[in-house]
Amino acid sequence: MISEFGVFTRIQILLHSSDNKCITSRCSEGCYLLRYYSAFFFFCFFWPDQAFVTLATSDSYAKGALVLGRSLRDHRTTRNLAVLLGPHVSEPFREALRRIFDEVRLVDVMDSGDSAHLALMKRPDLGVTFTKLHCWTLTHYSKCVFMDADTMVLSNVDELFEREELSAAPDPGWPDCFNSGVFVFRPSNETYGKLLQYCTEHGSFDGGDQGVLNSFFSNWATADISKHLPFIYNLSSIAIYSYLPAFKQYGSNAKVVHFLGKTKPWSYTYDTTGKRVVATVQESSTHPGFLLKWWDIYASTVAPLLVKLHGDQQFHSGCVIGEVAAGVRHLDISQEEPAPVSSEERKQRWEQGQADYLGEDSFDNIQKKLDSFLK
Amino acid sequence: MISEFGVFTRIQILLHSSDNKCITSRCSEGCYLLRYYSAFFFFCFFWPDQAFVTLATSDSYAKGALVLGRSLRDHRTTRNLAVLLGPHVSEPFREALRRIFDEVRLVDVMDSGDSAHLALMKRPDLGVTFTKLHCWTLTHYSKCVFMDADTMVLSNVDELFEREELSAAPDPGWPDCFNSGVFVFRPSNETYGKLLQYCTEHGSFDGGDQGVLNSFFSNWATADISKHLPFIYNLSSIAIYSYLPAFKQYGSNAKVVHFLGKTKPWSYTYDTTGKRVVATVQESSTHPGFLLKWWDIYASTVAPLLVKLHGDQQFHSGCVIGEVAAGVRHLDISQEEPAPVSSEERKQRWEQGQADYLGEDSFDNIQKKLDSFLK
C-alpha cells in the first residue's frame, strides 16, 4: 500500500486485529499520528482491499517471510503485505516483520478460546494447519494471495489477483492436487467456519493444510482451467531435477520459486565476501541460482535489519565473512544450469532416487552421500 | 469391435494399411471369408470408427502391448485395438499381436520413402518419435486413444472417447506438461504433416515424443479443463512414492497404471507356482500390487500364447517355476500399501532422493543400493 502514496511512505499502521490482540500505531519519526477514528478514515480511503499473506511460525520461517516480503516490495507490488505470526516468533523478528509488512497479526490458536481452539482440542495434530487457515479471517480484504514463507517472487505477480478462489498451481507429486504453497482466496468468516468444521470432521489426508484444502476445494482438478495457476507461479525446486528438459524449456519464465523440501534456504550459510552459498553435501538439492538470489536479498537487506534489531542479543544471521569451516563445500553459484539429460535418463534417475547430487554423480559425491545414509 | 457383434466374435480382419504393407484376412475356422470388396462393405458397416492404439518397437515392448491389449479386452472395450509395429519385432510376437489386436500395422520409417523418412533424415535422433507420430495416419478412425505399451488398464476406460484432441493427463515431473503415455487424438493427415514439419524445424525439447507433442499442443495447460484427463487415467508408478498420502486417498480409483521408469514389468521374473514377482534390490520401485496384476495377465494368457507361437524356437518368457536363483529376492506382493508418511516426511524424502527402497530404509537395503551405485 504504502509505496503507492509517497507521502505515507514512512508510516506503518497496524490496525486492530479482529480479536484485539494487536493494536499498534507507529511512525518512524517517533510520533503517533493516527489512532482509532483517524485510522478508520485512513483505512476506508487508502487501505488496499487486497493483500499478499504469509505465515511465520518460528524465527527461521520469519527469515523466509522477510525475504518473501522484500522480494514482493522489490518487484513493486501495489497490494498490502500481511503476515500471520505464531506465538513462538521472538520480538526482534516481529519488529523486523513490522518494518516490511503492512500488517502483522498474531495467531495463537491455543490461546484464542474461539472455534479454532475448539477444533484444535479435537485435532491436536493439525496445529499449524489451523494457524494457516486463519488467513480466511482477514475479512478487511476482499481477495488475498497466500504464499508460504519458503517462497520468493522473481517478478511482479500482482496479476494473480485477477484469479478467483481457489486458484493454485498443480503439485508435482500428484498433479490432480494443487500445491497449497501459493493460492488465491477470498477471506470470509463463513468459509473459515466451514473449513474448521471440515478439519474436525475429516482431518487431513496428508496431515497438513494441503490435504485439508484439496479435500475442501475438491473440484479444483476438473472444474475451471482459470483456477489452475501456471506452474511457474509455484515452481518447486524439486521439479527442476525431476524433469530437467522441461525446466530448461520453461524455467526462464519462473515467477515464484518454492523451496520445497527439508533443507530451506536459511539452513545454509552464506559467505558475504565471496557472495557464495556454503553447504554440506547433504544439503545440495536446491537450484543454486534461486538459492543465491534468496541469499542476495537476505544478506543485503534482511540480515542488517535483524542485526540492528537484536542489538546486544545473540543472533545467528547465517552469514559468514571470508573463510568457512572445514567439512563444508561451496555450491556452484553460477547461473549455469546442469547439463541436459534425456527423457530416458530422467526416468532412470527417478528409479535411482534422482541421484543427481549437485549434478555430479561422481564416486566422490556418491560416497559422501552414502556415508551420510549409513551413519 | 468384434465382441460387439457376437456373430463375428471369432473373426479377425486386418485390412489394407494405407502403404499396402499388411494385407491379411483370416478366419479362425480356417476359411477365408471376406476379401477386398466384401471387406470394404464390412468396413463401412461394422468397423468401429474409434480405436485404442499402442506402439511396439521391440519384442520386450510387444509383451507390454500384449498385456495392455489383453487388459482392454478383459474390461470389455467396445473399440478396436490397433498396434503400430517397429521393424525389429519378431514374427512370433507379430502373430501374437494379431491374435489380440484388430489391426497390426508395420511402421518402418527408414523404409517408407515418404515425408516421415525425409524428416528422419534431418533429425535422426527422433526415430521412435516419428514412429509414434504415425498414429495420426490411422485416418480410417475418427478418434483414437493412444496408450504406451508400458501402460495397463484396471477398468473399462471407453469414456475416454468422449474427450477431444488433445486430451491427456498431467506429467508429475512438470505438471504444466502432459504425459504422452495416454492421450486422445483425431487421426488426420493434415495434423500428421504439421507434426512432422514441427519436428524437423524445432526438434524435441526432451528428445522424445512428449517434448514435441507438448510444444505442438502448447495451450494444453491453460485452454480447456476438459482436455485435462484425471491423473487416475495415467497413474505413474513414480507418483505413488512421491506423494504417498495422495495415493492412499485417490489411488483406489486408478483406471490406468503407467510403469514409467527404467525397470519395466517385463524386466522382472515371475514365479508361476508361488504367483509372486522376483526382483533384485535395484528393481524394486514399482508398486507391487500393480506389478502383480501385470504378471497375472501375462502369465495366464500372453505367455502360453507366446510359447505356442515360438514352437521349437528359444524364447525367454520371464516365468519360472518354483525355486528362484540365488541373489534375487521376492517382492512383497500383498496388496498392502506402505506405511503412511506425513507431508514433512515426504518433503524429506524428496531431499534425500526418495530413499524408500521397497518401503524399507533399512541398513541392509541401503547397503545393497549403495553397492549397486558404487560398482
Give B-chain residues touching A267 at CB under 8 angstroms.
none
pLDDT for the residue numbered B338: 42
Distance (Å) from the C-alpha of residue B259 to the closest C-alpha of chain A? 10
Interface test with A, best of B125, B162, B206 (most A CBs within 10 A): B206
CA distance A105 to A85: 6
Same-domain pairing of A325 and A224: no
Least Cα separation, residue B339 to chain A (angstroms)? 13
Per-residue confidence band for A146, with pLDDT thresholds at 50, 70 and 90:
very high
Would you state the pLDDT for residue A137?
A: 95
What local confidence, expressed as pLDDT, does residue A1 receive? 40
- Residue A200: name the closest of A116, A122, A133, A127 by CA: A122
**Do B338 and B359 touch, CB atoms closer than 8 A?**
yes
Does B353 sit within 8 Å of A354, measured CB to CB? Answer: yes
**Cα A261 from chain centre:** 13
Q: Quick check: is B354 in a domain?
A: yes
Q: Is residue B237 part of a domain?
A: no
Whole-number pLDDT of residue A129? 84
CB contact (8 A) between residue B207 and residue A248: no
Average pLDDT of chain A to the nearest whole number: 78
Instruction: Looking at the complex, report in whole angstroms how far the Cα of residue A7 sits from the nearest Cα belonging to chain B.
Output: 41
Report the pLDDT value the prediction gives residue B46, as an integer from 0 to 100.
66
Query: B176 and A230 in contact by Cβ < 8 A?
Result: yes
Which pLDDT score is estimated for A321? 81
Are A228 and B222 a contacting pair at CB < 8 A? Answer: yes
Mutation for A interface: B129, B132, B176, most A CBs within 10 A: B176
A222-236, B169-183, B236-250, B361-375: segment of lowest average pLDDT:
B361-375
Predicted confidence band at A261 (pLDDT cuts at 50, 70, 90)? confident
Same domain, B200 and B257: no
Q: Tell me the pLDDT band of B364, cut-offs 50, 70 and 90.
A: very low
Return the C-alpha cell found at A132.
494457516
CA distance A256 to chain B (A): 15
- How close B203 comes to chain A (CA, Å)? 12
| Residue A337 belongs to a domain | no
In a domain, A272, yes or no: yes
- The predicted-structure confidence for A325-356, as pLDDT tens digits, reads as follows 444 444 444 344 444 444 444 434 433 333 33
Mean pLDDT across B189-199: 94
Q: Identify the domain boundary among B179, B197, B230.
A: B230
User: B-chain residues within 8 Å CB-CB of A346?
Assistant: 173, 206
Show the cell assigned to B289. 500390487
Question: According to the model, what pLDDT value does residue B203 have?
Answer: 87
Instruction: Provide φ and ψ at A246, rounded to 5°.
Output: -70, -40
Closest approach of chain B CAs to the CA of A40, in angstroms?
A: 41
A150 and A246 within one domain: no
CB A87 within 8 A of CB A96: no
Judgement on whether residues A258 and A247 belong to the same structural domain of the protein: yes
> Do A210 and A85 fall into the same domain?
yes
Looking at the partner chain, which of B262, B343, B353 has a beta carbon nearest the beta carbon of A348?
Answer: B262
A207, A242, A247 ranked by CB distance to B343: nearest: A207
pLDDT of residue B332: 44
Are B250 and A174 inside 8 Å of each other by CB?
yes
Interchain pair A374, B363: CB under 8 A: yes
Structure-model confidence comparison of residues B253 and A344, the more confident one? B253
Mean pLDDT calculated for residue range B12-21: 38
Q: How far apart are CA A86 and CA A107, in angstroms?
A: 6
Is the pLDDT at B347 greater than 90, yes or no? no
Measure B350 CA to nearest chain A CA, in Å.
Answer: 7
Alpha carbons B251 and B257: distance in angstroms, whole number: 10
In this structure, is residue A237 part of a structural domain? no
Select the residue of A208, A222, A261 nearest B350 (Cβ to Cβ).
A261
Closest CA to B213 of B276, B136, B153: B136
Could B367 and A374 be called an inter-chain contact, meaning their C-beta atoms sit closer than 8 Å? yes
- Residues from chain B that touch A370, judged by Cβ atoms under 8 A, are 366, 370, 373-374
Predicted local confidence at residue B40, as pLDDT: 62
Interchain pair B170, A171: CB under 8 A: no
Question: With an 8 Å Cβ cutoff, are B228 and A238 in contact?
Answer: no
With a pLDDT cut of 90, the percent of chain A lying above it is: 52
Distance CA A160, CA A238 (A): 23
Query: In this complex, do A175 and B177 lie within 8 Å of one another by their Cβ atoms?
Result: no
Residue B209 has pLDDT above 60, yes or no: yes
Grid cell digits, residue A301: 537487506
State the average pLDDT over residues A190-198. Answer: 94
Residue A9 has pLDDT above 50, yes or no: no
Contact state of A350 with B225 under an 8 Å Cβ cutoff: no
Cβ atoms of A258 and A236 closer than 8 Å: yes
Q: Is residue B235 part of a domain?
A: no
Mean pLDDT calculated for residue range B157-176: 97
Say if residue A100 is in the same domain as residue A170. yes
Tell me whether residues B343 and A285 touch, CB distance under 8 A: no
User: How high is the pLDDT of residue B37?
Assistant: 62
Whether residues B171 and B148 fall in one domain: yes
Instruction: Pick the more confident residue, B11 or B220.
Output: B220
How close, in Å, is residue A344 to chain B by CA atoms?
7
Q: Residue length, chain B?
A: 375
SS3 B133: helix
Q: Could you tell me if A101 and A215 lie in one domain?
A: yes
List CB contacts (< 8 A) between A354 and chain B: 353-354
Task: With respect to residue A142, please indicate whether it lies within any of the assigned structural domains.
Answer: yes
Residues of B whose CB is below 8 A from A263: 351
Q: Which three cell numbers stand for residue A190?
A: 463463513
Chain B residues whose beta carbon lies within 8 Å of the beta carbon of residue A205: 245-246, 248-249
Contact A210 B343 (CB under 8 A): yes
A238 to B205: CB separation less than 8 angstroms, yes or no = no
- Residue B182 belongs to domain with CATH number: 3.90.550.10
Residue A243 and residue B206: Cβ atoms within 8 Å?
A: yes
Of the candidates A230, A257, A278, which is a domain's last residue? A230
* Shortest Cα–Cα distance, A106 to chain B (Å): 24
Classify residue A352 by its DSSP letter. T
Nearest CA to CA, how far is A113 from chain B (Å)?
Answer: 28
Closest residue to A245, CB basis, from B206, B225, B366? B206
Residue B263 and residue B122 in one domain:
no
Q: Total domain count for chain B?
A: 3
**Residue B354: closest C-alpha in chain A:** A353
Q: Residues B300, B319: one domain?
A: yes
Q: Select the residue of B211, B248, B366 nearest A373 (Cβ to Cβ).
A: B366
Contacts of B222 in chain A (CB under 8 A): 225, 228, 230
Q: E-assigned strands of A89-236?
A: 103-106, 143-147, 151-153, 167-170, 178-185, 235-236
Phi, psi of B363 (to 5 degrees): -55, -45
Q: Which residues on neighbouring strands pair with residue B236, listed in sequence order?
A: B258
- Let me know whether A97 and A18 are in one domain: no
Helix (H) / strand (E) element for A365: namely helix A363-374
For residue B211, give the nearest of A245, A350, A370 by CB distance. Answer: A245
Co-location of A25 and A52 in the same domain: no
Q: Does residue A172 contact residue B172 with C-beta atoms inside 8 Å?
A: yes
pLDDT of residue B17: 38
Domain span holding position B16: 4-44
Residue A82 has pLDDT above 60, yes or no: yes
Quick one: closest CA in B to A176, which residue?
A: B231
Show which of A195, A230, A265 is a domain's final residue: A230
- Write down the pLDDT at residue A32: 53
pLDDT, average across residues B81-91: 95
**Chain A residues within an 8 Å CB radius of B352:** 262, 353, 373
Look at residue A86 and tell me if it is in a domain.
yes
The x, y and z cell numbers of residue A100, run together, are 516490511
Residue keyed to cell 500445491: A179
Question: pLDDT by residue (tens digit) across B282-301?
Answer: 555 567 789 999 999 999 99
